[in-house]
Structure 1
Amino acid sequence: MNVINNTKRSSDVYLRFLQLADAIRGLPSLPPLDPLEEKILAVIARAGTQHERLCVRDMMAKEQLGAPATIHTRLKSMRAKGWIMLSDTEDARRKQIELTRGAMRYFDHLSKCMMEAANSSV
């Protein structure tokens, strides 16, 4: 019985987080992302936290995200929407992908949602 209660509590926290996260996705700060763009955003964010350099060519080589042309189109869309920016590297042919301040604020909001969800279950 105790295992079931702990499982229910854990799932309640996650479901509450999803509910809160959906609410911030509707905020007018940045245009919405489609599911593939959200995946790409997560890849970029993880690379940034690990201090890894990530260029457009690196992203296009990630087979789990789809065809290179599709990834390139999504990167252009995300840049136009204000989620990412491209910065120069020592090689003028390569562009580094970075999150914008707006994207970082989005992750800050998600973090707050996670904390609120965890605190609301205790």
Structure 2
Amino acid sequence: MTKPTRPADLYLRFLNLTEALRGLPTLPALDPLEERILELVARAGQANARLSVRDVMAHDQLGAPATVHRRLKSMREKGWITLSDTEDSRRKQVELTQAALSYFDELSAAMVKAARNG
């Protein structure tokens, strides 16, 4: 394997590895908006912050609340997120499923592999 000749080569190797991960049959594919929502939920979880359906829908950069709500429903059906009860039965907390956490573990391993082989 040749050494990268520029810093971007490392990132491009990582992208190639992640593309291979997306082809695995572990979970159904996400569209770009669903990926952004998944990353938002993951970052909130990493920060030990609670994120409700309403909180996700309030992020203007994700688009119209109805669109975000449809995507959350789709992601739940695909097995990427789960909705947990809170003290208020009308509010649901959005959390990653174990399969989604495993996906992030695989992405992390791909990042390490790209850096190591670079």
Give the unaligned 5+ runs of structure 1. 1-5
Aligned pairs (5 A) from 1:110-121? 110-121=107-118
Aligned to 2:31: 34
Q: Higher helix proportion, which one?
A: 1
Map Cα deviations across residues 6-40 of structure 1 (whole Å, 9 max, x no partner): 971x2111000000000000100100000000000
* Percent of matched pairs sharing the same residue: 64
Deviation (angstroms), 1:85? 0.1
**1:78 lines up with 2:75 in the alignment:** yes
Map Cα deviations across residues 53-83 of structure 1 (whole Å, 9 max, x no partner): 0000000000000000000000000000000
Aligned to 2:63: 66
Give the unaligned 5+ runs of structure 2. none
Question: Which ranges of 4 or more aligned residues in structure 1 deviate by more than 2 Å?
Answer: none
Deviation (angstroms), 1:103? 0.1
| Aligned counterparts of 2:5 and 2:29: Cα–Cα separation in 1 | 32
Aligned to 2:49: 52
- When the two structures are superposed, what TM-score results if normalisation uses the length of structure 2? 0.95
| Aligned counterparts of 1:40 and 1:75: Cα–Cα separation in 2 | 8
- When the two structures are superposed, what TM-score results if normalisation uses the length of structure 1? 0.92
Aligned to 1:12: 9
| Aligned counterparts of 1:92 and 1:43: Cα–Cα separation in 2 | 23
Aligned to 1:106: 103
Structure having the higher Rg: 1
| Aligned counterparts of 1:21 and 1:112: Cα–Cα separation in 2 | 10
